[in-house]
Amino acid sequence: MMNNAESILKNKIRQLPQLLNDVQQWKAEGKKVVFTNGCFDLIHIGHLTYLAKAAELGDKLIIGLNADSSVKQLKGENRPINNEESRSALLAALFFVDAVIIFEEETPANLIKAVLPDVLVKGGDYTFDRIVGAPDVVANGGEVKTITFVDGYSSTAIINKIRSQNAC
């Protein structure tokens, strides 16, 4: 049986039909829906800062999380370090995250077209023309924003540091 904490986490991890119902309700209540996505393999201060800033851009924050198969396509056979169940639970545990949805494709293009958030957010290393879903969001009256990363933090850098220390 699930305790209250487990229930809260599981309730934030949504399937598409549930998420679309949530989005419809939030928008009907006049809430501004923000969407971002990523692998979020090893959560670090750079991720936390980025996600907190994304949450500040609206009332409800949805995170599209790359499934394990998608992470492998993007990052290589040795990734992810943490499986999608662990990564989604960690993200759901953040108080400013309202929903997490796992997607299997290499990009969240179909997910973004379905959700049509009010604000689509990506990291500062992206330009508008490289942000998947940006034209769809703008065509629907939404905005596309980029957020500057915290320098010196990346999952790849953390993994490389661990590997180099284990090699000694």
Confidence of residue 2 (pLDDT cuts 50, 70, 90): low
CA distances from 23 to 27, 66, 86, 88, 131 (A): 6, 20, 24, 19, 21
Whether residue 112 is predicted with pLDDT greater than 80 in this model: the reply is yes
How far is residue 37's CA from residue 98's CA, in Å, rounded to a whole number?
13
Burial class (CB in 10 A: 0-12, 13-18, 19+), 89: middle
More confident residue, 81 or 31: 31
What is the second-level CATH architecture of the domain 4-166? 3-Layer(aba) Sandwich (3.40)
Tell me whether strands 60-66 and 99-103 are parallel, antiparallel or unpaired.
parallel
Q: Positive or negative, the Cα torsion across 119, 122, 125, 129? A: negative
Mean pLDDT of the chain: 90
Q: Pull the structure tokens for residue 94.
A: 């953040």
More confident residue, 155 or 28: 28
- pTM: predicted TM-score of the whole model, two decimal places: 0.89
Residue 43: closest CA among 80, 6, 4: 80
Mean predicted confidence (pLDDT) in 132-158: 85
pLDDT at 151: 67
Task: Please tell me the total number of residues recorded for the chain in this structure.
Answer: 168
Mean predicted confidence (pLDDT) in 12-20: 97
Whether residue 148 is predicted with pLDDT greater than 90 in this model: the reply is no
Confidence of residue 63 (pLDDT cuts 50, 70, 90): very high
Mean predicted confidence (pLDDT) in 150-160: 65
What are the extents of the domains in the chain?
Answer: 4-166
Q: Which of 13-17, 124-128, 156-160 has the highest mean pLDDT?
A: 13-17
